[in-house]
Amino acid sequence: MIQRIQSFYLLLVILLSASLSYGFFVTEYAVKLASLFFESFGFFAILILAIISLLLYTKRKLQILFCLFLILLNLIPVIIYGYMIFNGSEEMIHYAVVSISLIETLFLILARQAILKDEKLVRSIDRIR
């Protein structure tokens, strides 16, 4: 499971999501973040879906679907907090959320490409048989 590069990318997404979800337990930032992105359920949903996607390493087609859904789900905080930054918000936590979400999106795109590459390899081997 961890030998595959996409599992490593998904593990990095899990770690970044966990660090972002940790912000809800820090009292200084909890109210600022929770009021914007579906009252923090969105961040926890990204974390849980990334864990599920990592555990679906035997079902590549479903893992591709989960990665695509996670990419779309990660763009929501980028849009919400990017809009707040665009309107003149100077709080560093908004910049952190946007940057972490963009990095997660990049890792998810890389993981999806690696899963597609594995699926293509498996299909070509099945054709030979």
Contact between residue 46 and residue 15 where contact means Cβ atoms under 8 Å apart: no
Q: CA 50, CA 7: separation in Å to the nearest integer?
A: 10
Residue 40, pLDDT score: 57
Q: Give the chain's end-to-end CA distance (angstroms, integer).
A: 25
Domain count of the chain?
Answer: 1
Residue 39, pLDDT score: 47
Residue 19, pLDDT score: 84
Mean pLDDT of 29-40: 56
Predicted structure pTM score: 0.83
pLDDT in tens, 93-117: 778 888 888 999 999 999 999 989 8
Q: What's the domain range around 41?
A: 5-128
Residue 127, pLDDT score: 72
Long-range contacts of 95-101 (CB under 8 A, 24+ apart): 96/20, 96/23, 97/20, 97/23, 97/33, 100/16, 100/19, 100/20, 101/20, 101/74, 101/75, 101/77
